[in-house]
Structure 1
């Protein structure tokens, strides 16, 4: 695994009697696309806010890009692009003017302070998120999707080494979600580490190379997605003759649902040959793999949208 660009040790955050993040040890490898998953109230957003120094930890430690946070925020944050919760903007200004002001606030003199360079960076960020032709309309007139694109553009202004994005596809239509997936993959291939917090399992499964799962403030799983979705040792068979297949399989058959049979088998090719010899037609046959949804449901509780009889308090 590459050296981590984000590392936490025993990280804990309490709000009064509520423990939002509880003893989290997290390592995000450089160059990865890391998805932070969990039900509402699991502590994902609080964790991301602590990484950025927006919320101070009750205990534990944080390193971002090799430096302690929030102590090194002045040197770390210019190399980090972030979008946390709803994108912020001055509603009476255009998107372009918003980005120019944000860029100016992040400049400390030298070549990056030149107006021509600022205009170039703003235009490049707008084009990256599909707003290259934006006019002078104020942000208050933008759609939710346009606001979301503008928020992501603000995170890309300074070509960050690390992107921290909380629900980055919120408000985007299916085409916009696909465009954002392509953009984040391209940025990652160019060297940017991407960390996104989301409850959209399908998006994380499509985009990310490694995942972490949070539940009730605990980090209950971190694993490469390819390892997580390794074959289970079972084979899924589809056949128009399920009764004949069941007789041929005997005790190796674990379950059957219509024409779909789940079979314990070491070698799919041997299984296929056995069924063919028994005269069973096989429509398809493939190793069973767990989905990300199955893994998350196995490792998390009921989720914070439900209220138990104990009335457990939760935080984001």
Structure 2
């Protein structure tokens, strides 16, 4: 769905994107992560032909970008750097104008607009102008615009920006549902927890370079520690002899390579085990290990 080869973008002496080889397969929910100023938005804009690459190659849905971008765009929905709209018009009117520029028929235009608005939680919106919308409402409208043409591929830059926790949850469920129906989702975000909840694959960019790209489950490898919940926590602590790393009530974090063996040993020692599972690295740990200090720091710590 998205492939880049040695994709590079320079602005004068600044290399914003540096030889990136991106690979997003059909059916994935791909999270694109990195510190501020790491090149995420520049890369997204190159995918959509909004910025031309200095060198390298881009393919979207098998078409070369920017040469054959017009062939791919009808099957791509996008939201980049916040939603664009005519502020003096209502949200529905904005979507009607956008739909008129596409290939859909006039007779079914209202139905398409209403469906898109319902998908993003704006089904009951009135005819107030967009300039009266909150940031969250504008973001929902931008998502509705991206969904108008039932795209095979969604490219989204910070799609939950400005939304409250309930709104973020709704958009997450919407994107998962669309993905299950066949839409591939590529999104950049700084919300690590949200990407961890939503995405199947992750790419991490730092100072313009793609430093990590893999399935999320493969990235979140075991830490070599085990989480145990037991009503006999005090007894377990006495048995562990230095293996305990942290205790939070009846929840213990234990340094041990094999949860099954640890479970057997505890039970044979008379300790009741209510739950036991290996600890996995969080996405935050993965990203912090893969990246240097924030790209937008200017306090002398940047190498």
Asked if Structure 1 and Structure 2 have the same fold, meaning a TM-score greater than 0.5 normalized by the shorter chain, the answer is yes
Q: C-alpha separation between the residues in 1 aligned to 2:146 and 2:200?
A: 21
1:196-207 pair list within 5 angstroms: 196-207=187-198
TM-score, normalization: structure 2? 0.92
User: What is the aligned partner in structure 2 of residue 123 from structure 1?
Assistant: 114
Shift, 1:269, TM fit:
2.7
Task: Pick closer, same or farther for the CA change 1:261–1:158 going to 2, 3 Å.
Answer: closer
Root-mean-square deviation (Å)? 2.0
Partner of residue 5 from structure 2, selected from 2, 9, 16:
9
CA contact (8 A) 1:237 1:263 kept: no
Which of 72, 88, 108 is residue 76 of structure 1 equivalent to? 72
Question: Which residue of structure 2 lines up, in the alignment, with residue 40 of structure 1?
Answer: 36
Partner of 1:261: 253
Please give the alpha-carbon distance, in whole angstroms, between the structure 2 residues aligned to 1:229 and 1:173: 27
* Partner secondary structure for residue 306 of structure 1: coil
Please point out which of 97, 101, 112 is paired with 2:97: 101
Please say if residues 77 and 147 of structure 2, whose CA atoms lie closer than 8 Å, have aligned partners that are also in contact. yes
Q: Which residue matches 2:46?
A: 50
- Residues 238 and 284, structure 1, Cα contact 8 Å, conserved in 2: yes
C-alpha distance after superposition, 1:92-136 (max 9, x if no partner): 0011111111111234xxxx2x32122221111111111122211
Query: 1:276 is matched with which residue: 237, 262, 267?
Result: 267
Aligned pairs, number: 300
Distance 2:302 2:256 in 1: 42
Deviations 1:138-196 (A, max 9, x none): 10111111111100011011111100000000111111111111111111111110001
Which residue does 2:140 correspond to in 1?
149
**Cα distance in 2 between the residues matched to 1:271 and 1:137:** 62
- Find the residue that maps to 2:8 and give its secondary structure: strand
- What corresponds to 1:162 in structure 2? 153
1:292 to 258, 283, 288: 283
CA distance in 1 between counterparts of 2:219 and 2:172 reads 21
What TM-score results when the alignment is normalised by the length of structure 1?
A: 0.89
Matched, 1:134 2:125: yes
Aligned to 2:14: 18
2:20 is the alignment partner of 1:31: no
